[in-house]
Structures are given as C-alpha cells and as structure tokens.
Structure 1
C-alpha cells in the first residue's frame, strides 16, 4: 500500500539507511529510524506508524522481540522481523509475539515488498474484523433480549449476555457450564430438542412460546429467534430470547374470558330456545285451543240459528272471521317461535315447510336441494340451522332485492351443512355497519358454539352466499 508509514528499528546505521532507500523506492514513507527497543516504543507511541520493520538484536537492554511484543500490545501496530537470526530459540520467541512476517537478511526487494503488502492488508482486515466483533459484542451485551450462543454439536452454551443471565438467574460463568437440556423442564425436552434440531437445519428461525426453566425451577415462556453463526471456529446457533410470560398470561386470560363469554352466550341461546318452545306450546295449546273452542261455539250457534235477527247473524259472521284470523296468527307466531314440524318430523321437513311458506308469501323463487341422509341430528344443531335459515331469508326479503334463492342442506355421517345463496345486490362484509351486522354475528356465534364453521361470501352486484357447517358429533 503506497505511502504507508513505516518505522525502521535497526542498530546498524548503514543497513538502516539501505533499508530506508529501498522502502522509499518502493513508495513507502519512512517516518523514523530507531536503534534500540526503548526508542522504538517511544517512536511508535509518538508517530503511530502503519508498520514496524524490527531487527531482533538491538542496542540497549531490550531486544526486538520484547519491543515488538509491547508495540503490539500497546498500539496494535503490525511488526515484521528483519533479522539475520533463524535459530530455533529465536524463532520460538518471535513466534509468541505473533509477527506479520519474518524476513532473513540478506533479503530481496521483491520479498520485502510482498511481505509488507501482505502484512498491511492482513492487519487492515483484522482491524475491521476486530471493530466488527467489538460492535457485535456491544450489541450482544446490551441487547434487551436474552442472547445465548450454543455449540451445535455439544448443545453447550458458549456465551450469554447480561439479560439472559438475569432471565435464567445464572452468572456468566455458570452459563458456560450449561447445556440446552439444563434450562428446560424434563417433560418439555422432547419438544424443545426437536425444535432445536429444526432451527439448526434452518427450517425456520422463530420458535414461539417455548417454556424455559430458571435456576430456581420456575418457568417462563419465550419466543426464540435463532440464526446460525460461527464462533471459535465452531458451528453455532445464536438464540435471542424474548420473555412473553406476561403476554401469554394476558392471552390466556383473554381466551378464558372468551370461553366464559361463549358459555354465557350459549346459555342465553339455550334459555331463549326453551322460552320460545314454552311460549309456542302455550300459544298453540292454550290460546289456540281457546280460540278454536270459541269458533266451534259460533259455528254451532250459526247452524242452530239461535240468533234470529239478520244483524246478529252478520255480527257473528264477522266475529268468526276475526277469530279465524287471530287463530291463524297465533299458529304462525307459534311456528316462528318453535315450529312443531321441527320436533315432530325433523330438520329436513321443517326446512322444506318453511321455504314453501316463504315462497308462497314473498313470491321468491326458492330452489331447494335437500341431501340429508343422516337422521340422528342433535337438537342443538337442528335449531341452529333453522334459526340461521330464518335470519338469512328474512334478510334476503328485506335487503337483497333478490329474485332467486338456492338453499342446500347436506349431510353425511360426520357433518351437516346449509348454504343459502341469493342473486341479490350483495354487500361488502368488511364494511357492514355494526347495527346491521348483529344478525350475522348471532349466526356466527351459534355455529362456533357448536364447533362448526361459518362463512359469508358477498360482493356488490354478485349476491350473497351464507354457509354453515356443523360436526354431527356435537359436544353441545
């Protein structure tokens, strides 16, 4: 590297001048010449050369080997020995100082140039590597996540940062004596070790929700991000541990709240169905029978002509029509609350009956595709399907402006499903106002409570398809 600053340490003046001329010819800048080890150290401290050419035998009490060692340790300046000595003892002493070259006198210019260039380049690379390692160490040590480096082969921890020591409750020295198996509970080891192998193979980089054991035996949960690195010439995994115990506790608490809310919702739905069934029965059996009895009395009175005047006869006729309408409304209301056909003849018959009545009342063209080959359908599932059908068709009549509806009811030995598809104006399910989405939310809750799947597919101008599927081995 031309213009690099070089310090010559040589006690022979003629040789030193010759070396200086050669270096200048090669394009280097000789900033000073020292004749003793002590002077070399002072010049290195004062002038900060890029490289030192060091003779071993020098004036004074300090030889070149000792001077080179201090220059390396104090100033991190590369040293090349330029000496006439090649005996084993000298070589062993020189080797300990980790020189960047060892040239024997007499030397060739090309040999000197090549050794200097290689030394300067090597030192530059090492300096950058050292800076990178220092940055890495600073980031590693001050990371807010716990950091561990694990030997891939032995699964032993090579190092850990301050945070992981705090997380686990071990000192840095103790960490280095631990293995992966030491920070996990025995019952979790098969899963943890399998996950470690998958991380080692690079199949994924994040292991989520991993139970980790502290020194005191308590467990915390961590998300572990892993990456493969090389440390001390060993293949390793560096794991970043983020404590998610509090997040997991909150998630578990939220899930428990949702479970309780579902349980409450299901209890309310069940209570509603029981009340509907009771009210339907009372309307049908009590009020319906009373109205029927009154109608029979009026009919008998009309036939026996007890009422003589034409005015009274016309009054009875109007009264009979009013009572007949009232009785029909009671029956309709009873059927809406709890269709008797659902309890008496089953789901398929109830669906067909409802759709035929809907078709007659609204003029909608309803295509019915009934493929129910399994009769042992849980009551809770039958009710849910019937209520979804009621809600969906009511929405179609009110909002869809549809001309045709296709209703499919299918079952096998494992599942039963219903789909209600219309050719109406459709809507965007994502932007549905809350007040208009309550009905869909109710359908979804019914289905999910029974362990099923609920879907809505709709778009402007493309109609709407509502789909619900239930397991027939319902737990409700």
Structure 2
C-alpha cells in the first residue's frame, strides 16, 4: 500500500514537472517571439515615419501645379533622398494624370501609372495628411514591393498628383533576417488588407498570397482588435503548425490608411522537441523506478519461501539496480548534454585565471567555423579578446559584483576578424565557498550592431536632410510656444542665428492680430491633427513682413508635445500670381476687342468665349460657357474631327493645329469655321486656346468653283468626244468619197495615156505627167490628213499598233529616230482611253519635232491591271518649265490640251524637263473595263 502510494505521488510529481516544463517552454518561446516582433515593429515604425516626413517635404518643395518647377534637378534631389534612406528604393513625383514627372530612377520618367492602386486610391480619397500604403505589387522593373504615397493638391484643393516612395525589399530582408534565432523560424510582413509582402526565409511563391482567409493567423489577429497577439495554429502560407507572434505596425505619428502587419513564428514541433524528448526520458525513468519497486516488493514477499535463493537473487537484484541507475544517469546526462549542445548562446567555463575549462559547440557558429570546441579547451580566454582593456574592465566589474549582464566586447577569430558579442557572467564558488570558476553566456550581436549602425546612419541622413532642406523647419513647444530648434534655412528666412532662434517664440514672428489663429492651430495640433496654413504673414527679425505657407504636424520629443513646422517663403509666388493676373487682364482686353473668335477649351468644355465667337453662332458668351460640351456647337458629322484635333493637341502630339469644320448656329443653319489652335496652361492645367474665323463665304465660293471646274471637265470631255466623232466621220468621208474619186481619176489618167497616139502623147506628155504627180501628191496629202484626224488603224488594230505607226511617221517625215518600246497588251483598251492616249502622243511628238532638236524619241507603253502609262521622252535641248512653251500657239495651250484630255478620263499628265537634259511627258490613266 505504501509502495503504491509512493509510486502515485512520484508519478504525479513527474507528470506535474513535465506539464509545468511544457508551460515554461511555451511561455519562454512566446516572450522571445514577441520581442522579435517588437524589434521589427519599432524599426519599421521609425522607417515609415521617416518616409512620411520625406514625402511631405518633397510635396512641399515642388508644386505639382507648376510643372516648370519640376525637372532634372528634382530627379537628382529625389535620388539623394532615396539614397539617404535605407528603406526606400525609389521616390517619384506623378502628375494628376499618373505620368511620372520626376524620379530617383530615370527610366521611370514619362511612364504612366494611373492604373496602379497606389495612384487611384489617393486620387479618390484626396487626404493630403494621410500616408497611403499600397498593397504589394510587381513593378515594371520586376520587383515586388509596397508604395507609400502622399497626395499633392492644387491651389484650390483639387487633386494635382502624388509623391511616392517605394519601400526597399532588401532593407526589409536584412531586418527580418536579423531576428531569426532558430532554423525553423520564419518572419513575414503583410499589407493591412491581408496580401503577403515578404517572407524570411525567402519564399517568392508566397509573395502576393491573400492571408485574410477565415481562420488564418492574419484574420484572427485582425478580429482580436489588439495591436499585438500570440497564437498557435496552421500557417496559411506554409501549411505548418506554428506559434506566431503578430503585431500591427501603425506609428502614432503617421496617419496611415492601411497598417503593415508583421508575424514572427516557429514550428511548434521544433519548439517542443527538447521538451518531448525530456518527457519521454522522465517517463522511462519513472517506469524503471516503478518496476524496480514492484520487483523489490515481490522479492520481499517471496523471501521466506525462497530463502535459499535470497543471497543469489539479492546479488542479481543489486547488479541490475546498479545497471538501471547507471542507465538513468546516462540518460540524464544525455538530456542535459542535449540542452547544452542546443543552446543558441555560447556557454563558457573558465577558472579565475582565464583558462577555458568548458565551452559549448556553438563556438563553431560564433567563429564562422574557424574554431571547434576541442581547439579552445585549456587555452586562455585572453587570447580571444579584441581589446585587452575591455577584458580587464570585465574582470574588475565581475570580481566586485560577482555577476555581470550584457557586457559588450569582441571575439577575435583565427583570421583576425572581430565578432561583436554581449557577455553575461557569474562567479561560481567552489566546495569551500570561495570563488572557483567563471560561467559565461556569450551572444553574437553582429546583426543587432548592424541594425544599430543602420539606424544611426538613417538618423544622420535625416539630420542632413533637416540641415540641407530649402524650406525652413522649426520645432516648437506646443504649450509654451517657444522654439526648441530650427534648421539653417529658417534662420536665413527670419534673420536670426540658431542661438537667437531658441530664445524667441511664435509670438515674436507673427503679427499680434493673427496670434489667436496661431493659438487655435496649436490646440488642433494637441489633438493630433496636422495642419497646412496657406499665405500666412511672418515677421523677420528686422521687422519686415513676408508671407509663407506653413505645414504643421504634431510630434513628441521625449515627454514634450511639439509642433514640427515647415515654412516656405511664397513672396516670389505671390509676385508671379500678381503678374499672371495682370497678364490675364490684358488677354481679356485683347480678346474682348478682337474681331476674330477666341475660345479656351478644357476638359471638353468652354472656359472662355469672346463676344466675336458668340456672335458667329448667334449665342451669348454666357450660353456657350454654360454648355455641357464644346461639341454641342459642331455639326454632327464633324464632331469626331474636332474631338480628335483637341485630343492630339492636349496630349502634345502636334505643336499647333489648323483645320476647318462646320458649326451649327443657334437658328440651326450651318457655317464653316477655320481654327488655329495651340496648347496653353490654364488654371494650372492643360487647355487649348483657339482663334476661330468664319470662312463660310470662302467655302461656298470654293465649292462653286469646284462645281464649275467639274462642269468644264465634263464639257471638255464631251467636246473631245464630238471632235473625235467628227474627225472619224471626216476621215471616213475622205476615205470613201475623196479617196475613191482620186483612185478613179488616177485610172482615167492612165487610161488616157494608153489611148493617146504617139504624136498626141508627145504633145501632151508634160501636162499628163504633171497631172499624175499632182494626183499622187493629193493622195498622199489626203492620207496625211486622214492620219492626223483619226488614224484608221486605231479602230482596226488598237493603240499599240497606232503608236508604232506614229513613231514610224515621225522618223519618215522628220528624220528623228523614233521607236516604241513595251509589249502589246493584246486585249483592247476602252476606245475613249485609246483615243485620248493617241491624241496626247500626237501632241507630244509634234512638240518634240518642232522644238526639241532631238536625235532620238522614245515612246513607252505599260499596261497594268489598274492603269495605262504612256511616256514620250526625247534627248533634245529641253526647256525651262517656268519660262518656255510647249507649243507655238499659246505658251501653255499644248500642255493644257494634254492635261484636259487626260483629266476627262480621270487621268494625269506630268511634264519633266530642264535645259540640256531633254524632255519627258508621262500620261497615267486609270484602266476602265475592256
């Protein structure tokens, strides 16, 4: 009974110890994960605050309403800012259309990102005081990142663009990696909407996953409403059982539309692995003890019956018990050896003289593999201190206090490199209570030092920005109104030295009548509201007054509520505004008195209409300004034309524009207008200013002239047809009647010649021969007239044969070598085309024979599916087209005749010539049906 009770008590104690040990492991791991999450929270919070202030400074430095103030110098300034901030990859300024005006990366300038979420959300919400944090996205440069954005507004509060900073994933990677203290750990950063951004260890496939699924760590943390939580469950991105510490990153001084969420987690199996092993070993040990007790009881009960075997059994039991105890001892040693070997920090035991008695295997990790445990046992620890004086200070403090925490020193490797370390140590007494040995825990703080260095560098860069800012910056105690510090720019603007600045306050730099307004603004700052005070009077040290735009933001320095003021002198801007007003007044004076119409169109509506333009359409200027669209006054058919010209001009595709369109008057009638347009800046945005002339009478005259020309061409074509018909009829008459009569006369003369006697023939021979010669000349002349009027072969054999005959006739009559090149198309062309080309060839050949003094004339005929091309070229003296003539009747009659003939059938005639280079006449006529 007693043995059973003892075993139950022992079992309960073992179970309680195992359960308590599990709780302790869980609590310890929760604390460690929360600490790592808080480290990331604090670092990212400071980084976001720096980004927010930098974006506000850039927005105030450059007015997006004045595009001229933004140029290459702005991009260089942005590059300097981006380089100075370790967490910023790219800084950019985008106009209201989403086009990059300036960027720290030149390759982005001119690109349009109006479709991006980080542009659309600020444009829709339009809160200049808010830092808009975009969901993660992949950039045009192939990088997955998050953008921080501040809205820029115009003088009337309208959306003017954004100032954007892309957070650098490389900075986050270094920060996330610095908190990983176990190989099974991982860290993530997500957007407030639930989209994953970065994972460490790196997992590119997990980037962009929506973590806001029901039951996920992200959803549970968000639903809890707490800024920091620790929970266990299945990781959505990894599918593993994890313990997760989650924090919402939303700095108090940065008004953000969406926070960032950081999660630091470990594999639950890895967390409880040492505890599980210990629990199994303790259970085994308890089982062995219980078994031993039961066996002992059994042997004791049987002792009387088996007395003769007692001595042998006792010896066996003793030996077995010793073996069990030895195994339990080995198991216990292995348990603590496992804990010892798996310590994250380095464990070191030395005697008081510094000789290393024991050192854990973590020395290989600390030294980067340059030392093993066996290499250092028995050696002096002084060999590994980077600074002997630090070792002396360490020992002196330890001897005085008996213990020391987080003493910073350096461990020197075999290759001379130094590893920064944090040492916590205590003196363990020996058996007699005297100091016996020094037990130390050494932690590698390289990552922490690197983070601290990065933070210091960031602070130095921010200080450089503060000192080098062109705008004045003041830090003011909100309660007292006294200045705590200021940058050199504010000293120059106000005329004070820095030593004088801290001795004056708000009441010294503002007129008395405006102090009540200043006090009210400071009260709003105390409520955490940022303010922008525009065009506010400020008094310099010498008593002179200037106006400034002042941006106020609440900050906290230590325990003091302060106001951060950014002061921009707008004296030059006020002068520019006054000059602009004077210019606008002069413009209106000129436009109102102008007889031509003057309009300004912006966003498709009239912004200005002068009286002359309104009179052209029968409206008043007010009626046109009240129209919903400038296209209401354009004829329906011409609206696409006008709209396209306006679009091209507004987008800078054409430096200016000139075109004609039809407008609709108030009485419904149509009128023609000629427009001269150019792009201007109107109220800080692009617009089109146009001068409009009423050209209705001119257009009607042009149309009448075109109708007359068409009628003349039709009449000429009909005349040519009638002439050809008459010529064809005359030719037929000459051939049928005159030709037959001449043939009969020839027969009669030869008959008379044969019938005459010799005496009569001798007496009449002279007369008869003269008659025959005269008859032959008459026949030849009739044939020539027939050929000129209408060659019969044109009707019988076609154009190609006729042109060849014309070339032969020129050679025969003038002696100028003439030839036709090309191939007979075979298929006949329409008679009208053949007749026209034959007449053009006759005219051109006649001119060449008369004036060219050529040795050779070439005719070339080319027939395609679409057109017929005839070219007549000579190698003669040529002529000046501007001074000479083509024929001897009228200086331009021959060319006009050829052109009119070609135009009558829809063709063209080109003439090319220059002195000494011959002449070339080309006729091109569209091919009609055969």
- Normalised to the residue count of structure 2, the TM-score between the two structures is 0.39
Work out whether residues 208 and 223 of structure 1, in 8 Å CA contact, stay in contact via their aligned partners in 2: yes
Match of residue 225, structure 1, among 676, 679, 683 = 676
How far is 1:221 from its partner? 0.9
Deviations 1:189-210 (A, max 9, x none): 3343334333333334324220
What is the alpha-carbon distance in structure 1 between the residues aligned to residue 608 and residue 909 of structure 2?
51
1:456 aligns with 2:911: yes
How far is 1:131 from its partner? 1.4
1:168 aligns with 2:168: no
1:326 aligns with 2:778: yes
What is the alpha-carbon distance in structure 1 between the residues aligned to residue 824 and residue 867 of structure 2?
10
How far is 1:290 from its partner? 0.4
Match of residue 267, structure 1, among 718, 726, 732 = 718
Deviations 1:31-57 (A, max 9, x none): xxxxxxxxxxxxxxxxxxxxxx99555
How far is 1:316 from its partner? 2.6
Instruction: Go from structure 1 to structure 2 and tell me whether the alpha carbon gap of 1:175 and 1:114 turns closer, same or farther (over 3 Å shift).
Output: closer
For CA contacts below 8 A with separation 6 or more, give which structure has more relative contact order. Answer: 1
Work out whether residues 366 and 406 of structure 1, in 8 Å CA contact, stay in contact via their aligned partners in 2: yes
User: Residue 254 of structure 1 aligns to a residue in which SS?
Assistant: helix
What is the alpha-carbon distance in structure 2 between the residues aligned to residue 313 and residue 122 of structure 1?
118
Work out whether residues 597 and 610 of structure 2, in 8 Å CA contact, stay in contact via their aligned partners in 1: yes
Match of residue 884, structure 2, among 415, 432, 454 = 432
1:202 aligns with 2:652: yes
Higher fraction of helix: 1
After TM superposition, the structure 1 = structure 2 runs for residues 66-465 of structure 1, keeping only pairs within 5 Å, are 86-88=518-520, 100-103=535-538, 109=541, 118=569, 120-152=571-603, 155-178=604-627, 179-204=629-654, 205-305=656-756, 309=760, 310-373=762-825, 375-432=827-884, 435-465=890-920
What is the alpha-carbon distance in structure 2 between the residues aligned to residue 374 and residue 135 of structure 1?
75
How far is 1:467 from its partner? 0.8
User: Residue 901 of structure 2 aligns to a residue in which SS?
Assistant: helix
How far is 1:308 from its partner? 5.4
What is the alpha-carbon distance in structure 2 between the residues aligned to residue 101 and residue 318 of structure 1?
122
Instruction: Go from structure 1 to structure 2 and tell me whether the alpha carbon gap of 1:318 and 1:112 turns closer, same or farther (over 3 Å shift).
Output: closer
What is the alpha-carbon distance in structure 1 between the residues aligned to residue 826 and residue 541 of structure 2?
98
What is the alpha-carbon distance in structure 2 between the residues aligned to residue 141 and residue 214 of structure 1?
20
User: Residue 518 of structure 2 aligns to a residue in which SS?
Assistant: coil
Work out whether residues 451 and 474 of structure 1, in 8 Å CA contact, stay in contact via their aligned partners in 2: no
Instruction: Go from structure 1 to structure 2 and tell me whether the alpha carbon gap of 1:173 and 1:89 turns closer, same or farther (over 3 Å shift).
Output: farther
What is the alpha-carbon distance in structure 1 between the residues aligned to residue 597 and residue 522 of structure 2?
47
How far is 1:242 from its partner? 1.3
User: Residue 462 of structure 1 aligns to a residue in which SS?
Assistant: coil
Instruction: Go from structure 1 to structure 2 and tell me whether the alpha carbon gap of 1:366 and 1:163 turns closer, same or farther (over 3 Å shift).
Output: same
Instruction: Go from structure 1 to structure 2 and tell me whether the alpha carbon gap of 1:238 and 1:429 turns closer, same or farther (over 3 Å shift).
Output: same
Work out whether residues 370 and 410 of structure 1, in 8 Å CA contact, stay in contact via their aligned partners in 2: yes
How far is 1:465 from its partner? 0.7
How far is 1:100 from its partner? 4.7
Work out whether residues 425 and 461 of structure 1, in 8 Å CA contact, stay in contact via their aligned partners in 2: yes
User: Residue 430 of structure 1 aligns to a residue in which SS?
Assistant: coil
How far is 1:89 from its partner? 9.8
Can you give the 5+ residue segments of structure 1 that lack an aligned partner in the other structure?
1-25, 27-52, 58-80, 92-97
What is the alpha-carbon distance in structure 2 between the residues aligned to residue 86 and residue 436 of structure 1?
90
Instruction: Go from structure 1 to structure 2 and tell me whether the alpha carbon gap of 1:343 and 1:355 turns closer, same or farther (over 3 Å shift).
Output: same
What is the alpha-carbon distance in structure 2 between the residues aligned to residue 84 and residue 157 of structure 1?
43
Work out whether residues 409 and 419 of structure 1, in 8 Å CA contact, stay in contact via their aligned partners in 2: yes
Can you give the 5+ residue segments of structure 2 that lack an aligned partner in the other structure?
1-494, 496-508, 524-532, 549-567
Work out whether residues 369 and 406 of structure 1, in 8 Å CA contact, stay in contact via their aligned partners in 2: yes
- Normalised to the residue count of structure 1, the TM-score between the two structures is 0.74
Deviations 1:359-400 (A, max 9, x none): 122111123203332523121221121112212122122111
Q: Between Structure 1 and Structure 2, whose CA radius of gyration is higher?
A: 2
Instruction: Go from structure 1 to structure 2 and tell me whether the alpha carbon gap of 1:130 and 1:194 turns closer, same or farther (over 3 Å shift).
Output: closer
Deviations 1:211-268 (A, max 9, x none): 1111221111111222222333443222222111111011111112212222222222
How far is 1:401 from its partner? 0.9
What is the alpha-carbon distance in structure 2 between the residues aligned to residue 290 and residue 222 of structure 1?
70
What is the alpha-carbon distance in structure 2 between the residues aligned to residue 162 and residue 108 of structure 1?
48
What is the alpha-carbon distance in structure 2 between the residues aligned to residue 319 and residue 377 of structure 1?
43
Work out whether residues 613 and 692 of structure 2, in 8 Å CA contact, stay in contact via their aligned partners in 1: yes
Deviations 1:293-347 (A, max 9, x none): 1111222232344685121344333322221221121111111111011111111
User: Residue 264 of structure 1 aligns to a residue in which SS?
Assistant: helix
Instruction: Go from structure 1 to structure 2 and tell me whether the alpha carbon gap of 1:85 and 1:247 turns closer, same or farther (over 3 Å shift).
Output: closer
Aligned residues, how many? Answer: 391
Work out whether residues 407 and 420 of structure 1, in 8 Å CA contact, stay in contact via their aligned partners in 2: yes
